[in-house]
Amino acid sequence: MRIVHVANFYSPRSGGIRTAMHAMAGQYLSRGHEPVLVVPDKRDGVAFVDGVRVVSLAAPRVPFSGGYRAVVRPGKMRGLLETLAPDRLEVSDRTTLAGLGDWAREAGIPSLMMLHERVDGVLRSWLPGGAEGGYASAFGAAATPALADRYNLATVTRFDRLVATTHFAAGEVERLADRVRATTIPPLYRVPLGVDLERFRPDRYSDEARAEYAPPGTALIVLASRQSTEKRPDLAIDAAAQLVRDGRPVRLVVAGSGPLLPKMRRRAEAAGLPHRFLSFIPDRDRLATLLTCADVVIAPGPIETFGLAALEALASGTPVVCSSSSALPEVVGTAGAAAPPEASALALALHEVLDREVEERRKAARARAELFPWSATGEAMLALHSRKAYDLADSGAAGRR
């Protein structure tokens, strides 16, 4: 099969979606299929990455996104798809590319949408006040689910199938399915993402490598995240600063770029927090070494629908402290701790994890990650693609699989 996967918000410095697209494409390729990735860039072009064809479409930058681009000429995308002639279409976008489901249906090509974010969560994070303290008002909080339902009803229904990576990611579509006729919402499947267990592994650790980031006797806390509003990097800084006030020697190392980077640097300095900002780390091996050297990784994003960086930390033998309001507790399990997205609660969780016996917490983290190989993701996705486009077995309410 020729499986074409299209996305917006993909760039050389993007994280989860880019990693997932290439990992799934590698799985398809290793099983004898032909994956093609279509992504936005500065100009049109074609490249091959690890044997996978990557087609770029010229697209403008999205304002205030920190460099992301989005295709704004859907007609050009449809023309490209007609040339590529896919047997299956995957779409990782709920904005300008959502209409491609209609194109696929007219062309008789089975399609699916990957639910990489929750619309209700994104809306909440961008409400006035949401970036620094939750909901702007009771009205805004009440209106958000209704707005998300309306948007989802106009977009997800264009596809034959929906794929969510966690129960949390599936939640808003399941809510929508409870409100409308079951046959209106496409079948919804849960397929967890995976992790590169060869690249991210505990034996990358060395005292010499760790000394590059923190002195002996200092707890090394790592935030591997895009510095943007919905990720709430401020919570990581404030939680780590609380540990310093509690008398615990710590250093926070931040790996990731984004529009909030200068502001977060100033916040760490104002808090008197020992810190180091590395910006985006393009060398995946270097990132793997950093994650292995950390004592704990903090993932404070309250609306994360999976958390690949957290899973990479677990594979590296490093426990994760995450927001209990996100999907990450599903991924982390007992190989870390979850707390409400508040600095004080996250600080307590950091203390608790750091107080665990080192070898036990490292073994637990790695064991948890080994439940998520990319091979399982590839197998599950191909099982979906192997079914007929309008299989009667797919009929029924969303969320049953």
Q: Are residues 358 and 380 in the same domain?
A: no
Q: Are residues 222 and 267 in the same domain?
A: yes
Structural contact between residues 235 and 303, judged by C-beta atoms closer than 8 angstroms: no
- β-pairing, 88-92 vs 296-299, is unpaired
Give, as one character, the DSSP assignment of residue 43. Answer: S
Q: Are residues 102 and 36 in the same domain?
A: yes
Q: Are residues 311 and 359 in the same domain?
A: yes
Q: Are residues 140 and 207 in the same domain?
A: no
Burial class (CB in 10 A: 0-12, 13-18, 19+), 392: exposed
Sign of CA dihedral 279, 284, 286, 289: positive
pLDDT, residue 67, reads: 73
The domain tally of the chain equals 2
Q: Are residues 50 and 171 in the same domain?
A: yes
pLDDT, residue 171, reads: 94
Q: Are residues 257 and 357 in the same domain?
A: yes
Q: Are residues 154 and 221 in the same domain?
A: no
Question: Which contacts (CB < 8 Å, 24+ apart) does range 140-146 have?
Answer: 144/120, 145/120, 145/172, 145/175
| pLDDT tens digit at each of 401 positions of the chain | 999 999 998 877 667 889 999 999 999 999 999 999 999 999 999 999 999 999 999 999 888 666 788 999 889 999 999 999 999 999 999 999 999 999 999 999 999 999 998 998 888 876 655 444 444 444 445 568 889 999 999 999 999 999 999 999 999 999 999 888 656 899 999 999 999 999 999 999 999 999 999 999 999 999 999 999 999 999 999 999 999 999 999 999 999 998 999 999 999 999 999 999 998 999 999 999 999 999 999 999 999 999 999 999 999 999 999 999 999 999 999 999 999 999 999 999 999 999 999 999 999 999 999 999 999 999 999 999 997 544 433 443 343 34
Q: Is residue 401 part of a domain?
A: no
What is this structure's pTM?
Answer: 0.91
pLDDT, residue 182, reads: 59
- CA 200 distance to own-chain centroid: 17
Q: Are residues 212 and 176 in the same domain?
A: no
Q: Are residues 99 and 71 in the same domain?
A: yes
CATH number, domain with residue 62: 3.40.50.2000
Q: Is residue 275 part of a domain?
A: yes
Q: Which domain holds residue 152?
A: 2-194+374-394
Q: Are residues 207 and 280 in the same domain?
A: yes
Q: Are residues 260 and 330 in the same domain?
A: yes
pLDDT, residue 312, reads: 98
Tallying the residues shown for the chain, one arrives at 401
Measured CA to CA, the distance from residue 323 to residue 338 in angstroms comes to 5
